[in-house]
Amino acid sequence: MINTLSRPYISKAYKYAPVTTRNPLMKASRTFEDYLKFKSEHPGFNVVQLDTVHGKKGDKKCILTIYDVASKLQLGILLENFTAIEVKEKVNDIRSMIGDDAYSKMFRIMLADNGPEFDEIYNLEIDDETGEKWINVFFTRPYRSGDKGACERNHELFRYILVKGKTMNNLTQDDLNYYFSMINSYPRKSLNGKCPIEVVDEIYGKDFHQKINLKKLSLKEINFRIRRK
């Protein structure tokens, strides 16, 4: 009998073998039901939803998206190799950019997809220096995009710029910073006419958006019809 837990996951669409394995044991006490229970017991804890957006089949690059529920702000981070280690490193990069205080507040609860690219994020729960648990990681149910529906709906704005099926191999992080600056500068009725950048600055401090490489754009500067080829 083959031990499937010891076999590296190899994607058919992406030619790589990640360092980690798809170990279902790591999701013990981190299921979506555990998330709902924990959130009800800690109503003041902020939630970020993590997902990935893909382009053309066979692309090496894809996008890690991080959606902050409180402000409705979404980050787009370029993944060069689509590995679990890379995702973990990118989240740690954000911690360095915004500082420990804002990170522990913004990322208090992380809700991620079931993809193998998130196999390492549970290791972010414990601070390496202090040994303190300050982040709580949970996973959605398989094939239930509605479990993180806000994140999924926000992807629709990005798809105005880069439609499904288009390659992402030519994207740079500067491209994504510009695209998500437009997305996060767009006013929302649900935010009483404010845009996510304005709200995130109110929550986490003045000019917080600049720490995460976003720019506040005027309505005249927002163009969702770029239709990148």
CATH number at residue 163: 3.30.420.10
Per-residue model confidence (pLDDT) at position 8: 37
- CA end-to-end span of the chain: 47
Please check whether residue 4 lies inside any domain of the structure.
no
Please check whether residue 2 lies inside any domain of the structure.
no
Please check whether residue 227 lies inside any domain of the structure.
no
The whole domain housing 48 covers: 27-220
Per-residue model confidence (pLDDT) at position 129: 78
DSSP string, 133-178: B--EEEEPPTT-GGGGHHHHHHHHHHHHHS-TT---TT--HHHHHH
> Residue 86: which region, alpha, beta or left (left: phi > 0; alpha: psi -120 to 50)?
alpha
Per-residue model confidence (pLDDT) at position 3: 38
Please check whether residue 203 lies inside any domain of the structure.
yes
Per-residue model confidence (pLDDT) at position 22: 62
Please check whether residue 195 lies inside any domain of the structure.
yes
Give the helix/strand (H/E) hosting 109: strand 109-112
Per-residue model confidence (pLDDT) at position 10: 37
Please check whether residue 72 lies inside any domain of the structure.
yes
Please check whether residue 9 lies inside any domain of the structure.
no
Question: How many structural domains is the chain composed of?
Answer: 1
Q: Contact at 8 Å (CB) between 88 and 198?
A: no
* pLDDT, averaged in runs of 10, over the chain (229 residues): 36 41 74 95 96 90 95 96 93 95 95 90 86 90 83 86 87 95 94 96 95 95 70
Please check whether residue 59 lies inside any domain of the structure.
yes
- Smallest Cα–Cα separation from 4: which of 112, 86, 116? 116
